Chains A and B, each alone.
Chain A
Amino acid sequence: MKLLKPSWVSHHGKPIFSVDIHPDGTKFATGGQGEDSGKVMIWNMAPVLREEDEKNEDVHKMLCQMDNHLACVNCVRWSNNGLYLASGGDDKLVMVWKRAAFIGPSTVFGSSSKLANVEQWRCVTILRNHTGDVMDVAWSPHDVWLASCSVDNTIVIWNARKFPEMVTCLRGHTGLVKGLTWDPVGKYVASQADDHSLKVWRTVDWQMEANITKPFNECGGTTHVLRLSWSPDGQYLVSAHAMNNSGPTAQIVERDGWKTNMDFVGHRKAVTVVKFNPKIFKKKQKNGSSNKPSCPYCCCAVGSKDRSLSVWLTSLKRPLVVIHDLFDKSIMDISWTLTGLGMLVCSMDGTVAYLDFSLDELGDPLSEEEKNSIHQNIYGKSMAITNTEAQLSTTIIENPEMLKYQQQRQTSTQTNSAPGTVGPESSAPKLNSVMNGESLEDIRKNLLKKQVETRTADGRRRITPLCIAQLDTGDFSPALFNSVPILPSGSSMSNQLTPHLSSDSSPGQPSSLGFRPSHDPMLTSPPANSLKALEDNNEGVKSTLLLTSASKIEPIKALDSRFTERSKATPGLTAAITSTKECKLKEDTSSDSEDKMASINKNLMYSKRKPELMIDGGEVVEKRKKGRPRKEKMTTSMVQSFTQVHTVSVPPSAVAALRLPTPSTQKAFSLQVSMEPSVFLEVENEVTVVAGSKLSQLRCSKDGRDWNTLLPSSTLESVDLIAVASEDRMLSVFSSCGRRLLPAIQLATPVSALHCTAHFVMVVTAGATLSVWSVLIQRKRYTLSVFINTSVSQSLLTQQGVPVVGLSNGKSFCFSSSLETWSLIADKADSLVQCADFRGCLSSHDAPVSSGPLAVMQGRYLNAGRLASRLSSTPHHMQQSMTLAFLENQLASALTLQSGQEYRYWLLIYSRFLVNEGSEHRLRELCKELLGPVHTSATTSWEPTTVGFRKRELLREVLPVIGENLRFQRLFTEYQDQLELLRNK
């Protein structure tokens, strides 16, 4: 053991009442009497630990001193995370300090530079409630609460997450409360007072758990403090001043039954402070000794009014060491380093001593894992020690599964935070400059001229000071929103915005292309190129690329202008589909052909615009990509499916409210559907004239095999199922081999848009009818007449055959077959989207589903919404409920769209949000719905699956999310058990 008294640690000879070593071991705080006030000082630990640092002039010894307390500081304590320092003093106040990293003064004005504050610690909160001197303060494990006790006989529990909110005031002591300690597991807080009692309080309901008086009956109120301590294994609570046979002792109180059978004896005067070493030790294994596992033990330091210090190991009957005459006056406080090997002791005489132990003396400290296993053995699965981030440190984990998820979460958060670890400096409060781009020098030059000076009613001068910086400590943040923006310059608002937007709309992000291609530079630039290419091709041989248009090629300019002006029509859809496919392609294949695909895709799209033909190029490409690897399967399924298709629908022609544009026909065109295997689709109208009737030829070449069909007319639409709509309102459907699958369907009005997905064919006619045919199930027909005064700007058919339309007013609807109605799935003007903030609930594991129909229809508005939320200053509860509403909308929409992946994606976000916000009722309802009835009966209407997922599988995914919040462990256990039960069935 080494002993050192750093003489430079002093409050100018005034008493030092408290000492505490920072959790990171680099600094320590002292509290006590200042010249004319209370004083808190922060010191560098390095000069204490190393002699060379002590001698080095460049190593600062004192880091900061705070004279803010009006009277003597009785206690200083660092929070467990090291970000805060709490101090309590005779001025009845508790102050919470935080490191400020700002441009602030390196010196205190008017002082010499030698006494400069190296670090700036700012008082962020003053906790006022006590009506007498504050004697002790203590942070609960994981800094959930801060407790303070006072000579006003009370203990106040503060909400350390929301200072200065008070959780409760513990009343019951009838004398001055002089010491506090938290149970390391977080279930209790114990206090010792001059009323000859030690009381243990439960943190669950803040009621008294135990009142121990017997060992204290003989005590007189003679000590300044009574700092008691709880052992790191939680088994023992050791009091300060107690009496046994008129001798002063430190009473050992067992957690089990609060029995008081043992004590530390030997001090000649009252014990003022007891402090357990934070580590649990085990005996050092010596060479040759038996490998018999020794019992772990704790280490405890006891300081007394008799000026001596004793250090005990719970495994030994006698103290490890007793040091007399270390100080001239009573010992006031003890603090161990987190390593368990160093200890600082302070005394009323104004000095501090440092003790350095070796492993040989104390034993081998257990690792955190070993400490955990001890905790687990004693208390079951306790997260209090293992999980440094646990929200509810007080809760014992009752379920091993729960523990697993907690630990997983912890490790993941650790790994996440590891690379960009932010030190206390960066998270410390900052002063935000509000100078609007002006340098301080500029301001100073003109300050006299610029400052506002008025005269008060009684003729006195009154100067309005110029605010050059605002405090940003959280408490002051509202002011930031109301005043001048804290941005470096006036235009910086947009500067700040653009990077987000541009990153969101980067080419790799398909979702960003979802809407309004006319305004999107991404989409407006290519057409010119592709058209040029087209023209070139036009003259040459029919190359791999696109169509040759025999009819008039409109000037590029005209096309461009249409793109900018006619944003409502089909380009929106095609763009959306293209982007979707791009994404799908990227998922499906990794070859670089996908890029070519995409570009072709785009070209197709634009070229198609030109002749105003509805060619769903995107679909084609997608089909091709899919079709190639599993061609056989496709074909067979095709064959089967077509049998059921019904024939013509005759849409109600009376619906005249809505007239949709129809594409015009052209003489001939071809399109290449994919590069490999090369598939061409060619249409030539008016091929031959046989007996006065015109015939069109549709030719598709694939893998060298060609097939030809002759059609009596001339509009065309192509897909994997190849659907061809002709001018005479006939719709024909062919298989990929060219087999006619349906008899020609007669449509009431000309076709406006045509889509094919999987085995669905959707037709939007100019008569505002939307029809979907399925090759598997029955034909469905929907009417669009609901949407009056708008026109369809976008239409889409999902993989599940759900038709989706985007209207010109920004709303998107899909037809819910179960509800037999159109349901709103997206609304650009929806303020919920603008304000919903669920970024915190986005999991890094789930890649955002950007290819689903919901994502396609909502597109970038989702992203914009996230941005908006970052800028708005909506009150939290408002934002919370808006987010909730938004997420529920998303869920409902995904459900209606039968978009399984999206449903799952939003379900997980939704449940994570509920978990974060603590909405137990909704969570429970959700779980209940997913679990369904455990016992099935004939009357149960519960569907075991939803949108292609088994609900219970979904629940299995949701449960780990719930498991991340300890508060819901009951809920977690409940459903976990039921799931197990069902599985075993």
Chain B
Amino acid sequence: MAKVQVLNVAVLDNPSPFRNPFQFEITFECMEDLPEDLEWKIIYVGSAESEEYDQILDSVLVGPVPAGRHMFVFQADAPNTGLIPESDAVGVTVVLITCTYRSQEFIRIGYYVNNEYTDPELRENPPIKPDYTQLQRNILASNPRVTRFHINWEGSAERMEDSENVDPSSNSMLPPSCLPGKAPPIGILPDNSMDCL
């Protein structure tokens, strides 16, 4: 069973200028004392086209984690704009928060991110080379996509026979709500967890 349940993720400083760091306030609950740290990552999907544009903005160890309810703020710098294809700079993309325990990912939280110019002028006529200083990042905080994976929480003595974490099936709790049509297919997500797109 999952020893760690994510209770809430609050997106702080949102919307914000593109170059501001990401801030997520994560609240989670742990059933029992964890002997090892949790590892959290923020992944910025640079382009819907390919995973190779994914950027791990930062990874952080969280620990020690005794039984109980905890919270922390995960702050990570804005993505390296040099690694983002120019054509994908403006528009909808995805930021992912993942957590792993003993190198096994057990939860993946995805948010849609909309990057657009605040200036109507720019919005009408976007420059060919994106002007990141003018871009505003808006995370659709109200619509997190959560995928949970079963992992082996115990020591490495018994490996999970079924590699559920490699091929997770969809989360039953995903709401069948519709999303902006512009949304790109996101390769990194398990297909079925975003199948409502």
Contacts and interface: CB of A to CB of B under 8 A. Distances in A.
Interface of A: 12, 34-37, 67-70, 91, 93, 95, 104-105, 108-112, 114-115, 123, 126, 431, 434, 443-444, 447-448, 451, 456, 460-471, 475-476, 479
Which of B65, B66, B67, B172 gathers most chain A CB within 10 Å? B172
Nearest to B167: A36
A897 B62 CA distance: 64
Contact of B61 (A91, A447, A448, A460): A460
B2 A68 contact: yes
B150 interface: yes
Given A109-B8, A460-B61, A462-B37, A448 B68 contact: no
Given A109-B8, A461-B60, 11 more contacts: A35-B169, A36-B168, A67-B2, A67-B148, A110-B109, A111-B173, A447-B73, A464-B63, A467-B68, A467-B69, A468-B70
A794 B127 CA distance: 97
B146 interface: yes
Contact of B25 (A108, A444, A461): A444
B100 interface: no
B67 A471 contact: yes
B27 interface: yes
B164 A36 contact: yes
A350 B172 CA distance: 16
10 cross-chain pairs, A with B, having the tightest CB-CB distances, nearest first = A110-B146, A68-B1, A111-B173, A112-B175, A465-B70, A469-B69, A462-B61, A470-B68, A448-B73, A465-B72
B153 to A, nearest CB: 10
Contacts of A471: 31, 67-69
Given A70-B150, A111-B175, A447 B71 contact: yes
Interface residues of B, number: 49
A466 B71 contact: yes
A34 B67 CA distance: 26
B7 interface: yes
A479 B70 contact: no
B60 A460 contact: yes
19 contacts: A12-B172, A37-B150, A67-B148, A105-B8, A110-B109, A110-B173, A110-B174, A448-B23, A448-B75, A461-B58, A461-B61, A462-B60, A463-B61, A465-B71, A467-B70, A468-B68, A469-B69, A475-B67, A476-B67
Contacts of A35: 169-172
Nearest to B148: A67
Contacts of A448: 12, 23, 73, 75
Interface of B: 1-2, 5-10, 12, 23, 25, 27-28, 31, 37, 58-75, 109, 144-146, 148, 150, 164, 168-175, 177
A234 to B, nearest CB: 37
A36 B67 contact: no
Nearest to A115: B173
A467 B172 contact: no
Given A123-B31, A126-B1, A465-B62, A476 B173 contact: no
A463 B1 contact: no
A451 B74 CA distance: 10
A451 B12 CA distance: 15
A35 B150 CA distance: 12
A37 B31 CA distance: 18
Contacts of A431: 68-69
Which of A91, A104, A465, A468 gathers most chain B CB within 10 Å? A465
Contacts of A462: 37, 60-63
Contacts of B6: 109-110
Which of B37, B68, B171 gathers most chain A CB within 10 Å? B68
Contact of A451 (B27, B37, B73, B168): B73
A111 B28 CA distance: 15
A464 B145 contact: no
Contacts of A110: 6, 109, 144-146, 171, 173-174
Nearest to B12: A448
Nearest to A470: B68
A12 to B, nearest CB: 6
Nearest to B13: A448
A209 B19 CA distance: 76
B150 to A, nearest CB: 6
A469 B63 CA distance: 16
B61 to A, nearest CB: 4
A471 B168 CA distance: 30
A468 B170 contact: no
Which of A69, A108, A110 gathers most chain B CB within 10 Å? A110
Given A36-B164, A110-B109, A451 B170 contact: no
B40 to A, nearest CB: 8
A471 B170 CA distance: 30
A14 B61 CA distance: 38
B146 A467 contact: no
Given A36-B164, A126-B1, A447-B73, A456 B61 contact: yes
B144 A468 contact: no
Nearest to A434: B68
A670 B93 CA distance: 100
Given A464-B63, A465-B65, A471-B68, A447 B74 contact: no
A447 B71 CA distance: 8
A525 B51 CA distance: 83
A451 B66 CA distance: 16
Contacts of A463: 60-62, 72, 74
Nearest to B153: A70
Contacts of A126: 1
Contacts of B58: 461
Contacts of A36: 150, 164, 168-169
A109 B63 contact: no
Nearest to B32: A475
Nearest to B5: A109
Contacts of B69: 431, 467-471
